[in-house]
């Protein structure tokens, strides 16, 4: 089964807005604020990915359910993004160390 690319641009702004139950103008505002970065096709058309839809829903939960203002959302999303990058770096380093240990064990067994 092929792996689905969650970052593949799929949805026009109207579809993305309906999926998130938001007005298209709200999505445009979030883009202006840098909270979401849809892909561009030409100069006008925006295409949103599954990852973008998830991020929009996360923004919606923060603002509507938790009462966070957009400045707070920007800070929270920035911290979450940073944590994700750090997690990926940690996993890469763990894998590198694992491979190094395996190589040393093989060398010792010779």
Domains and CATH numbers, the chain: 11-80 (1.10.1660.10)
pLDDT digits (tens, 9 = 90+) for 47-103: 999 999 999 999 999 999 999 999 999 999 999 999 999 999 999 999 999 999 999
Q: Check pLDDT > 90 for residue 110.
A: no
pLDDT digits (tens, 9 = 90+) for 15-54: 999 999 999 999 999 999 999 999 998 888 899 999 999 9
- Between CA 9 and CA 73 the distance in angstroms is 23
- Between CA 48 and CA 108 the distance in angstroms is 52
């Amino acid at each position: 089964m092929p792996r689905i690319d969650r970052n593949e641009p799929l949805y026009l702004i109207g579809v993305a807005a309906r999926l998130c139950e938001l007005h298209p103008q709200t999505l445009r505002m979030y883009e202006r604020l840098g909270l979401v970065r849809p892909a561009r096709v030409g100069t006008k058309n925006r295409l949103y990915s599954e990852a973008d839809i998830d991020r929009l829903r996360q923004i919606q939960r923060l603002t509507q359910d938790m009462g966070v203002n957009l400045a707070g959302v920007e800070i929270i999303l920035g911290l979450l993004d940073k944590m994700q990058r750090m997690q990926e770096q940690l996993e890469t380093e763990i894998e590198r160390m694992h491979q190094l240990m395996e190589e040393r064990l093989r060398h010792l067994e010779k």
